[in-house]
């Protein structure tokens, strides 16, 4: 394979190289009135440099008695030019500027007026320069004003906003500081300083705001979308997510916020055990995380533990039962035919009641013991209290 063919393949394979070569245009020989250049040829490659000199009475439009120019993609920079030897080339005024000539040079007796940058002033009040016999006379100097200020003070945990760095600031310049996140100045977070008679006014002090320590550790929950850190500034938020098999009230995710140095309340992650176990004649009276507390209805006694817990396998521990703790006297079914009773009567376990008999001023004393009804005979209240009344023992409820 020939070298020419290999170069062709590389250019085809990498069109960017081909484009770069085609974009770099050569330069034709420049026209130069009153001078000559070397090397003398009809065209020059991109980046080629030529030197030129001027005939008597003329000089290059730059410093020195000869000049140089470079081919930049079809154009010469700077353009080769011969000017009157009494003309002047542009000045460089540190910290100052003036109106540029459209020709790129200044003729004999031309004058320029220099403007100093902000914060600088003319030394000796000299603001003009004049071109005389190819040189500038009395070149103005821009020096720092005695009313100007230097670097503004560096304040811990603060940054200057809205202004780029510079070494000198004019009188009455204003700069604004902004405290970093987690810090605040007295009043607003932003404070202004002013340059007065060469000195800056006092800057702000950025103090740490009320912050929170590590967020609380919540059982069966993890913090998401937040890297570990020891201190959280005011209004910081942290988001929790319950682990698989557990849910928080509302949704699996809950956010807490740092307010005045304290975290708001976090979520409680409950295991997913489904519906609460049903306990006849009983109700859930308290929910604490993954635990339930039961209580039996009136006239019923709880048997077994009153706390039921959701286990990690998704099942509830054994619920309690509510056992009847009362006796019933039903007028339609009772064997006590000598009592007057219009409705069903309930007697709580361990308690006794006096049921009126069909005889005036006589009652039966009935008592519920272990779910069984015991009764006395029909006696007067005096007999019940002082003499005693014969017991008939257990009766049919």
Residue 250 confidence class, pLDDT cut points 50, 70, 90: low
Reply yes or no on domain 282-324 having CATH 3.40.50.300.
Answer: no
Give yes or no for a contact between 392 and 376, defined as CB atoms under 8 angstroms apart: yes
Distances (CA, A) of 136 to 34, 88, 103, 244: 23, 7, 17, 84
> Which helix (H) or strand (E) element contains residue 302?
strand 300-303
Per-residue pLDDT tens over the stretch 13-58: 444 444 444 568 999 988 888 888 888 888 899 989 989 998 988 9
Q: Does domain 96-144 have CATH number 2.10.70?
A: yes
Interatomic CA distance for residues 141 and 131, integer angstroms: 16
**Is residue 117 over pLDDT 80?**
yes
Percentage of residues in the chain with pLDDT exceeding 90?
37
Neighbouring residues of 266: CB distance < 8 A, sequence distance ≥ 6 = 215, 216, 218, 221, 240, 254, 256
Look up residue 121 and give its two tokens: 């002033």
Q: Are 307 and 322 in contact (CB under 8 A)?
A: no
Measured in whole angstroms, the distance separating CA 76 from the mean position of its chain's CA atoms is: 54
Structure tokens at 43: 């065209």
- In this structure, of 76-85, 228-237, 345-354, the range with the lowest mean pLDDT score is 228-237
Q: Which CATH number describes the domain made up of 213-271?
A: 2.10.70.10
C-alpha span between 126 and 136 (Å, rounded): 13
Query: For residue 5, what pLDDT is reported?
Result: 40
Q: Does domain 158-208 have CATH number 2.10.70.10?
A: yes
Helix, strand, or coil here: 227? coil
Residue 115 pLDDT exceeds 90: yes
Reduce the DSSP state of residue 41 to 3 states and report it: coil
Q: What is the model's pLDDT at position 240?
A: 92
- What is the mean pLDDT of the segment spanning 166-195? 85
With a cut of 90, say whether residue 101 has pLDDT above it.
Answer: no
- pLDDT above 80: residue 394: no
pLDDT at 1 over 50: no
Cα separation, 35 vs 322, in Å, equals 120
Confidence of residue 113 (pLDDT cuts 50, 70, 90): very high
DSSP 146: T
Ranges for all domains in the chain classified under CATH 2.10.70.10: 24-84, 158-208, 213-271, 282-324
Chain centroid offset of residue 223 CA: 15
Confidence of residue 246 (pLDDT cuts 50, 70, 90): confident
Residue 388 has pLDDT above 50, yes or no: yes
Lowest mean pLDDT among 1-10, 61-70, 336-345: 1-10
Check residues 310 and 252 and name the one with the higher pLDDT: 310
Tell me the pLDDT band of 303, cut-offs 50, 70 and 90. very high
pTM exceeds cut of 0.85: no
User: Residue 8 above 70 pLDDT?
Assistant: no
* 4 phi, psi to nearest 5 deg: -60, -40
Of 270, 252, 278, 251, the C-alpha closest to 314 is 270
Q: pLDDT tens digits for 261-300?
A: 889 988 888 778 888 899 999 999 998 867 899 999 988 9
What pLDDT score was predicted for residue 322? 93
pLDDT in tens, 123-158: 988 899 999 998 998 899 999 999 999 999 999 889
Under CATH, domain 24-84 is a member of which superfamily?
Answer: Complement Module, domain 1 (2.10.70.10)
* 8 Å CB contact between 111 and 129: yes
CA atoms in the 13 A half-sphere facing the CB of 383:
14
Cα distances from 6 to residues 2, 11, 20, 249, in angstroms, run 6, 9, 18, 72
Average pLDDT of every residue of the chain: 85
Tokens 């976090």 found at: 266
Looking at the predicted structure, is the pLDDT value of residue 376 above 60?
yes
Q: What is the pLDDT of residues 320-355, one digit of tens each?
A: 999 988 999 998 888 888 989 889 999 998 899 999
| pLDDT level of residue 173 (50, 70, 90 thresholds) | very high
What is residue 289's DSSP assignment?
Answer: T
Distance, in Å, from the CA atom of 335 to the CA atom of 331, rounded to the nearest integer, reads 9
Q: What is the pLDDT of residue 19?
A: 45
Tokens at 169, concatenated: 């600031």
How would residue 7 be classed by pLDDT, with cut points 50, 70 and 90? Answer: very low
Among residues 363, 330, 335, 359, which one has the least CA distance to residue 347? 330
């Amino acid at each position: 394979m020939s070298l020419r063919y290999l170069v062709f393949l590389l250019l085809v394979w990498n069109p960017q190289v081909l484009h770069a070569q085609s974009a770099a245009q050569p330069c034709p020989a420049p026209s130069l009135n009153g001078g000559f250049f070397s090397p003398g040829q009809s065209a020059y490659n991109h980046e080629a440099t030529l030197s030129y000199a001027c005939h008597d009475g003329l000089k290059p439009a730059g410093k020195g008695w000869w000049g140089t120019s470079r081919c930049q993609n079809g154009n010469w920079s700077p353009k080769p030019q011969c000017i009157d030897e009494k003309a002047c080339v542009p000045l460089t005024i540190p910290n100052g500027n003036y109106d540029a000539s459209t020709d790129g040079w200044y003729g004999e007796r031309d004058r320029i007026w220099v403007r100093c940058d902000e914060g600088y002033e003319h030394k000796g009040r000299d603001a003009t320069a004049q071109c005389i016999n190819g040189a500038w006379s009395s070149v103005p100097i821009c020096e720092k004003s005695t009313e100007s200020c230097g670097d503004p003070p560096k304040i811990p945990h603060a940054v200057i906003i809205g202004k780029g760095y510079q070494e000198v600031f004019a009188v009455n310049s204003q700069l604004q500081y902004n405290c970093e996140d987690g810090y605040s100045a007295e009043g607003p977070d932003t404070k202004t300083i002013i340059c007065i008679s060469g000195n800056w006014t006092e800057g702000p002090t950025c103090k740490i705001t009320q912050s929170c320590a590590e967020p609380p550790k919540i059982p069966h929950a993890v913090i998401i979308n937040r890297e570990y850190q020891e201190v959280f500034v005011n209004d910081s938020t942290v988001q929790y997510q319950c682990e698989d098999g557990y849910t928080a009230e509302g949704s699996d995710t809950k956010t807490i916020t740092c307010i005045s140095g304290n975290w708001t309340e976090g979520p409680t992650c409950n295991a997913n055990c489904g519906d609460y176990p049903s306990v006849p004649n009983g109700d859930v009276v308290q929910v604490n995380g993954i635990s339930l507390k039961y209580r039996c209805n009136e006239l019923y006694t709880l048997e077994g533990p009153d706390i039921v817990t959701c286990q990690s396998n998704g099942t509830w521990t054994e619920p309690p039962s509510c056992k009847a703790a009362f006796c019933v006297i039903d007028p339609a079914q009772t064997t006590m035919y000598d009592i007057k009773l219009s409705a069903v009567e309930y007697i709580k376990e361990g308690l006794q009641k006096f049921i009126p008999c069909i005889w005036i001023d006589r009652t039966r004393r009935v008592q519920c013991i272990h779910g069984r009804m015991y009764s006395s005979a029909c006696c007067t209240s005096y007999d019940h209290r002082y003499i005693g009344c014969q017991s008939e023992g257990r009766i049919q409820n």
